[in-house]
Chains A and B, each alone.
Chain A
Amino acid sequence: MTATQTRAPEAPTRPTDNAARRWTTPGVLLVLVIGLAALPTLQESLGLDAYLIVFGYTLFFWVTQASAWNLFSGFSGYLNFGHAIFYGAGVYVTANLARESDPNIFVAILGGALAAAVVAALIGYVIFHRGLAHEIFALFTFALAIAIGVLVRNVDAIGGGGVLMVSMVTYPEFLGSVNEMLYYLGLLLAVVAVVAAALVQRSRLGLGLFAIRDDERVAETMGVPTFRYKMIALVLAAAIGGASGALNAVMISFIEPEATFGIDVSVMVVLMALVGGRRHWAGPVIGAVLMFSLSDRLTGLGMTELSQLLTGLLLVVVIVGLKGGIHERWQRRPRAGLITFLGVLLVLLVTGLGGGFIGALLFALLAMIVVLVVPDAWWARLVNRSREGQPR
């Protein structure tokens, strides 16, 4: 067995990547990030409306939170239903900093990350020694988040007697208006979250977490330091969630314990990751883009019952039709999925039919889901018929 030193093990995706393929994903992502970063400055000249900046920020927020959550829960199988604990820790760092003077946004973000990391370390240290079953862990964290909400409500030192306001924060001039600052920092945190998830997934830590997810005791006896790995992943996920929470406090400006530690954030990140796919860093990104652009378009329609109905139906359809989540199903039909998505997106953007960029993005994703949901048997017949041109 010749000992030749080569790269770290590949990402455990189904098709073994060759070198060329290996660099396309990061390449494409880099171009996307640069494009997104340029958006605010090009916004006027391209004639896009300024709302895209705010939509962009909130989209980055959800991508960050869903990716951070998945980094621990998706990879390790311990579904955390109290992610709002870490998000809320970040929010309340900014809120408490803002009690005296307008806080510096970077101090707030780092403080939020630190606070969330400390809270995660505490919770992790206590819980992981107890060996809670996965579903008990899930609902234990759910109850813990709500208990912390009630605690913050009643402890004036943290909760400020129930209400804290964040109106202004100080930040470097070159970031532009508050909305642009939120956009840029939101994009930065989203990139950090996604890159962290991708790096973890491709590293020894990722392999260890996947092993923990499938059979923790076997993983432990094969040498995986399960306690240490669960702690590292949880603290990392919490830090990113806390940082993003600290930034989001500026957007909410009215900070209340029930809303911050309530089920909104905790349940939404789980839905986004489960819908998008838990086993790959791209899963929560796709889930976040789909769920948020859907809710954004639907709030625009002003028909509340319809939007609730559509969101509920979509959840059922996707979790039933695409068992492992959109990304996993996409891996079985990568070309067809991508062509549908890009095709529909371009058509809608050109014709302006979908009601602007966000509508086009949403319908392109929904079209891709339809293509992916079609069962294999039908798909095979469909593809063959189109190739050979005559019906079977």
Chain B
Amino acid sequence: MQQWIQALITGLLLGGLYATLSLGFSLTWGLLRTINFAHFGFALLASYVTYELSTVHGFDPLLTLVATVPIGVALSLGLQWFVSKVKLDMFGTLVATFGLLLVLEAAISRYWLQDLRRIPTENNPWLSNVLSVGPYTMPVVQILGLVAAVALCGFSWWLLQRSRAGYAIRASVENPTMARAFGIDATRLGYLIAAISGVSVAIAGSMIGILYALSPASALIWVPVTLAVVLLGGLANPVGVAISATALALAESFTRQFADPSLAQLVALGILVIVLLFKPSGLFRPTVEVSER
């Protein structure tokens, strides 16, 4: 019984990381009509900055968010400016952002070389900082990650569903011409969404820097699970992202605990494939239903 609960806890904590990583990708795709592969490059850069500041300059890894979040926001805003200026269709953005990902990977491997890097344990107090409740243990840094995920998904849900800005954003995505006629400044709102994506991708990146070993080619490890979360959760639907991230993480965690870790990804992607077969728009409605023309 104890294993079930521990696997549940581990799954929830992992779900927090998946949600934070996927939120930005989902918002950019659903609201800004951009499939942003450079997203994974932004996360990787944030991981490396966290590694550099904590290993070389001795900062506390979590404090490095002070540096990574602004970088993440700047990169996301820059991309949004580029995409809005360049007028590409959905698949054009995919090619362009894949190109930017390659450029980012080249820059990262120029500075940090191809070598595997990981924050040494003495520079990384978070690895041993564990909260234990009875037999169950939870790394504090992952709890903070879960809190951040809930906050980010909650805020973007509130923004989109309950605030005036959110109403304007959804309107301008559903019918840009009509929205402009009502004086909605779509570009400014676009930058707001880009900023939220920037914050969430930076937090996810720093978390990855704290928990995992890094190499320039490791950005693409996170692509399958992010796509699964975004497709399952419904485009640009923060609540959908949070719940599908947790569901997939739990599925992986239970598979690792009770079946075999090598099947974890198969189970997660299998769930996605099955759900999409019966409910093509994912478990939850996308925030903006692209109306049948």
Query: In whole angstroms, what is the CA distance A130 to B251 when docked?
Result: 25
Contact in complex: B269, A146 (CB < 8 Å) = yes
Q: Which A residues between 144 and 178 are near B, CB-CB below 8 angstroms?
A: 144, 146-147, 150-151, 153-154
Identify which of B29, B99, B109, B281 contacts A314 (C-beta below 8 A): B99
Q: Which residues of B contact A271 (CB under 8 A)?
A: 95, 98
Q: Which A residues between 262 and 307 are near B, CB-CB below 8 angstroms?
A: 263, 267, 270-271, 274-275, 304-306
Q: Which residues of B contact A140 (CB under 8 A)?
A: 231, 272-273, 276
A143, CB-defined interface residue at 8 Å: yes
Query: In whole angstroms, what is the CA distance A130 to B274 when docked?
Result: 12
Query: In whole angstroms, what is the CA distance A154 to B103 when docked?
Result: 35
A376, CB-defined interface residue at 8 Å: no
Name the segment of B140-148, B156-164, B194-202, B258-266 touching the other chain.
B258-266
Query: In whole angstroms, what is the CA distance A142 to B231 when docked?
Result: 11
Majority SS of interface residues in chain A? Answer: helix
Contact in complex: B277, A315 (CB < 8 Å) = no
A54, CB-defined interface residue at 8 Å: no
Shortest Cβ distance from A134 into B: residue: B90
Known A-B contacts A135-B90, A312-B103, A320-B96; the reply to A143 vs B220 at CB < 8 A is no
A sample of 30 cross-chain residue pairs with beta-carbon separation below 8 angstroms, ordered by A number, consists of A126-B277, A132-B280, A135-B91, A136-B231, A139-B227, A140-B231, A140-B272, A143-B228, A143-B272, A144-B269, A146-B269, A150-B263, A150-B269, A154-B260, A270-B94, A305-B107, A305-B110, A308-B105, A309-B103, A309-B106, A312-B98, A312-B99, A312-B104, A313-B103, A315-B95, A316-B100, A319-B92, A319-B95, A323-B88, A323-B92
Contact in complex: A316, B90 (CB < 8 Å) = no
B66, CB-defined interface residue at 8 Å: no
Q: Which residues of A contact B107 (CB under 8 A)?
A: 305, 309
A79, CB-defined interface residue at 8 Å: yes
Query: In whole angstroms, what is the CA distance A50 to B235 when docked?
Result: 51
B102, CB-defined interface residue at 8 Å: yes
Contact in complex: A147, B290 (CB < 8 Å) = no
Shortest Cβ distance from B41 into A: residue: A312
CB distance from A63 to the nearest CB of B (A): 19
CB distance from A261 to the nearest CB of B (A): 11
B133, CB-defined interface residue at 8 Å: no
Identify which of A143, A267, A274, A306 contacts B227 (C-beta below 8 A): A143
Q: Which residues of B contact A275 (CB under 8 A)?
A: 95
Contact in complex: B290, A133 (CB < 8 Å) = yes
Contact in complex: B96, A319 (CB < 8 Å) = yes
Contact in complex: B262, A153 (CB < 8 Å) = yes
B224, CB-defined interface residue at 8 Å: yes
Identify which of B110, B262, B276, B277 contacts A154 (C-beta below 8 A): B262
Query: In whole angstroms, what is the CA distance A231 to B227 when docked?
Result: 25
- Which 3 pairs from chain A and chain B are nearest by CB? A315-B99, A312-B102, A147-B269
Query: In whole angstroms, what is the CA distance A75 to B219 when docked?
Result: 31
Q: Which residues of A contact B276 (CB under 8 A)?
A: 130, 132, 136, 140
A274, A312, A314, A323: residue with the most chain B Cβ atoms closer than 10 Å: A312
B35, CB-defined interface residue at 8 Å: yes
Q: Which residues of B contact A130 (CB under 8 A)?
A: 276-277, 280
A253, CB-defined interface residue at 8 Å: no
Query: In whole angstroms, what is the CA distance A304 to B105 when docked?
Result: 11
Contact in complex: B102, A308 (CB < 8 Å) = yes
Contact in complex: A263, B109 (CB < 8 Å) = no
